[in-house]
A and B are shown apart, each in its own frame.
Chain A
Amino acid sequence: MSDLNKLTIAEARDKLRGGEITSTELTSACLEQIEGAGALGAFVHHTPDQAMEQAKAADARIAAGDAPAMCGIPLGIKDLFCTKGVPSQAASAILNGFKPEYESTVSQNLFDAGSVMLGKLNMDEFAMGSSNETSVYGNVVNPWRRGNEDTALTPGGSSGGSASAVAADLCLGATGTDTGGSIRQPAAFVGITGIKPTYGRCSRWGIVAFASSLDQAGPMTKSVRDAAIMLEAMCGHDPKDSTSAELPVPNFEAMLTGEIKGKVIGIPKEYRMDGMPEEIEKLWADGTDMLRDAGAEIHDISLPHTKYALPAYYVIAPAEASSNLARYDGVRYGHRANLSQGDGITEMYEKTRAEGFGPEVQRRVMIGTYVLSAGFYDAYYNRARKVRTLIKKDFEDVFAAGVDAILTPATPSAAFGLGEMADADPVQMYLNDVFTVTVNLAGLPGISVPAGLDKRGLPLGLQLIGRPWEEGELLNYAYTLEGAAGFVAKPEKWW
């Protein structure tokens, strides 16, 4: 059977269980595609030997019966996840050569379920970016192109390698992480599904920390059903993460009924931004109609503090990053600068961090240092945390008023060209996360679903935001939207 790499996780699971294919065949098909896809820059560390070993073990397990859904499924793992004995450097020069002695909980959960790791995926350095242009490994290229142009487009970021790899069928699914939109924005840019679960659903243990109060892992997949299957395998309580929720994990796939009659979907007026492209407006209106046609009640709602989410995020995330990234000091792991005669420990720190961190990471660490410094802590950091309380309350109020989920655009535009934002102010790049960042600040689950193409043939996504811990319900709304939108387009292979 050819094109096994193009299967969804659900299709592959059924074929594996039915004995039609083996994980060894499936894994080989993916490895072959990865070999030929260097131009995408998605896979940065290849682990074919480990993959084949895991595939053989999965085949044995499936043959023995009673294998979990993810058994034998070949995945890509974002470079932010520590994987035992395999380079894990958060796309940063400062972690050059770092090979963890331990496995992140999320990747371990996936391996325990029998999944296969094909390799590590490119990303923005320390997950700081919206275009995958800050990686030490170089840019990731979006498999999609604008019409007949050959301009290289961004796959979004920070989980750009995950997005590109899944959209190009190099793997069946990939892990991503989302601090301000890093799963949902790239998923929208490449026409795939990406869900960020409720804060605390997935363990953060072994994931290189960016902003600990915002970071969450989630799956990036070819369909909503796949997202449900893979999320279930990723999450669960972990004593090693003190913010990990001690809640049972539902069977998310079983909750995909397509039945949403009488559910209340909120449309927040504050997400209608000035200068929003007409195509995005139309997509949003179409999505609203689809949910209404499926039996949902549509309510106009207000989330009054939306405008302040991005500025609050650009205080809180850099503040936490400056603290988390203090550990990269050239002592315990990764890069250490060559020192001159007479250099002491301070010079070692300063030179190591200047060489090891790229410009965007340096910028954010320093902004974070500034907003936490004596005299500014109250004015910036405490004020931002108060605004965060208000942003969360906006959501609590609409949920208390009976709203079940909220529909918004996923991104303010389609994928843009690599380099197109090079001369822009950093703040312009930050605006990419305008629709997604509220969800991280409020700790809610959010999912991006591909819903259409723009006039140049690029995918556009819609976002659904759910109540805390109701990923199952959220996935069901997304499943309904996916079915109605009928998005089946794939990028034409040029790589």
Chain B
Amino acid sequence: MSIDTDTAAKVAKLARIRVEDDALPALAQEFNNILGFIEQLNEVDVTGVEPMVSVTPMRLKRREDVVNDGNQQDKVLSNAPDAREGFFAVPKVVE
């Protein structure tokens, strides 16, 4: 399995990380090195093995479906790069 620059560009796009075109070949090469290392996993016979879901055998705990929090708009917004009138502000999303 080899990753070309187009695939590298697609992955960067999916990850929402801007990568300049001239950096793509080196990025693709790095991916190939790491994936080459990962491909050792193909040597393992995993027939009939369940993929691990939880490392400790436990059922995730549940809580009552009730409101136990709230009324802290100021705190929620206090670290926002751009907060206005009680909301997070972002560039235009819909045309």
Give chain A's interface residues, CB within 8 Å of chain B: 97-101, 198-200, 213, 239, 242-243, 245-246, 305, 307-308, 310-312, 314-315, 322, 326, 329-336, 339, 343-351, 353-354, 357, 362-363, 365-367, 369-371, 373, 380, 382-390, 392, 425-427, 430, 441-443, 468
Contact of B79 among A332, A350, A351 (CB under 8 A): A332
SS class, residues of chain B in contact with chain A: loop
**In the complex, how many residues of chain B place their beta carbon closer than 8 angstroms to a beta carbon of chain A?**
51
Contact of A427 among B8, B33, B72 (CB under 8 A): B33
21 contacts between A and B (CB under 8 A): A199-B55, A199-B56, A243-B54, A308-B41, A311-B38, A311-B40, A315-B38, A331-B88, A332-B76, A344-B93, A354-B17, A354-B18, A354-B19, A367-B35, A373-B11, A380-B41, A384-B38, A386-B44, A386-B50, A389-B50, A430-B37
Contact of B61 among A242, A307, A347, A371 (CB under 8 A): A242
Q: Which 5 residue pairs spanning A and B have beta carbons closest together?
A: A443-B55, A385-B51, A336-B81, A333-B79, A350-B18
Which chain B positions have C-beta within 8 A of A384?
A: 38, 41
Indicate if B84 sits at the interface (CB-CB under 8 A): no
Give chain B's interface residues, CB within 8 Å of chain A: 3, 8, 11-19, 27, 30-31, 33-35, 37-44, 46, 49-56, 58, 60-61, 63, 72, 75-76, 78-82, 88, 90-93
A200–B16 CB distance below 8 A = no
Which chain B positions have C-beta within 8 A of A305?
A: 44
B80–A333 CB distance below 8 A = yes
B18–A314 CB distance below 8 A = no
Closest residue to B3 on the A side, CB-wise?
A370
Contact of B37 among A344, A347, A390, A427 (CB under 8 A): A427
Contact of B15 among A98, A365, A385 (CB under 8 A): A365
* A245 and B58 contact, Cβ closer than 8 Å, known pairs A99-B79, A314-B38, A348-B91: yes
- How many Å from the CB of A41 to the closest CB on chain B? 26
